[in-house]
A and B are shown apart, each in its own frame.
Chain A
């Protein structure tokens, strides 16, 4: 079973990369390198240390932003889901945040917080936090009422109802919010490097484009996608480990 899904993953990767390679040879566009060229550029950047240095820069706002978004997002989401008053207070903020055109906000952020790390962390948070908050709050509100009654009937305290019933019951949706939030956070991190000041991976992308080194540009884009996918897979592993029965429990009921 596992082997088959692994095989399918390889197959789909092979098809995508094969299509990329062929498209690069046609060529689709002057500025579109082949897969192999891009991988060569990627290897080169990895070995001369440029990629590493770039990620040290890029991961800073990304990691800080995602950590803040996850902690604050889940906490605020829990509060808004559990308490109508908080819901009334906070939900509109995050709904507006989710709908706001980020590119238009960036100049405003730069004006207030400068071009340093703070602004970039903000961009990551604005991208990542709303979906985490809204998913968490929605999941908490949708906890099956019979589970809560069950807890109460066995004299659970309010805290126990929250920690032993509501949070685990909400966890699949909280985790899916986290996944969406983190993907958005990656977009935010790159966007901030392209729009605020070119540093890290954003710098490689901007710089390679300016000197028409398209292979390096695609290599940098490719590396960030790979990193995002690996990170999301890791998150899934953590979720499976923490809430084993949940994984198929809801799907089959």
Chain B
């Protein structure tokens, strides 16, 4: 069992090295006197979900926005598909913690908004949006406005908007933190199928250890400011298992414990 697992792990590691979608090297970020990130390096394998896990204020959002091109790093480089990031690009799409929906626009217009900004013609973008609205289970709500939806439904709109531009990399900043526990579990399951079915690279920010272990191929543990990667954990064995029984799996519980053990000394 152990042997097998190590084998799988090495295999994936070599494959990952060959195919890195996003690579962050020696990135530092200062906000005035506040040093948010210091000399942080991390690689994100293509087609996998990498979680950024760490206590509040350790710079997870900052790192995600730097990858998105929304913030400039003070020093260091971000490469997406080997090309240096200089700003937002069509290869990346962002899912926001607070959904960032336009309150004056219908679900349809919100989902199609990314395409609208990219100059796709109206009929075409609505056809694409229609498909993703159905994918996230919101058929029939096309004409509704965000204030008529529950928190979970709003985040589905945010997700559909990010999916509809068909970017290779999905950047998700605590997307499930504003929804209730049941919806959150459903979202986590949906996310697992999404990672399995779409050939996209997911970068997922969370501060929940359980959530990170449940959904990730790779977990990068960030330590408090100035933040750097303290550890990378690959719960590889879990990905082959049935998503309904993962939470009872001894390996799952071990990894959760291990992460907590390494983080607890940093939480006062």
Contact = CB atoms under 8 A, between A and B. Distances in A.
Interface of A: 144, 146-147, 149-156, 160, 164-165, 168-169, 171, 243-246, 248-253
A156 B100 CA distance: 15
Contact of A153 (B92, B145, B146, B147): B92
B113 interface: yes
Q: Do most interface residues of chain A lie in helix, strand or loop, or is the interface mixed? A: helix
A76 B49 CA distance: 47
Contacts of B116: 164
Contact of B100 (A147, A171, A245): A147
B102 interface: yes
Given A149-B70, A153-B88, A155-B117, A245 B146 contact: yes
B103 A165 contact: no
A116 to B, nearest CB: 43
A165 B103 CA distance: 10
A160 B104 contact: no
Contacts of B66: none
A245 B105 contact: yes
B258 to A, nearest CB: 34
B21 interface: no
A47 B186 CA distance: 70
Contact of A155 (B65, B90, B103, B145): B90
Contacts of B113: 154
Contacts of A149: 65, 70, 94, 96, 100
4 smallest A-B Cβ distances: which pairs?
A249-B103, A245-B145, A150-B100, A153-B94
A152 B68 CA distance: 10
Most buried by B among A150, A249, A250: A150
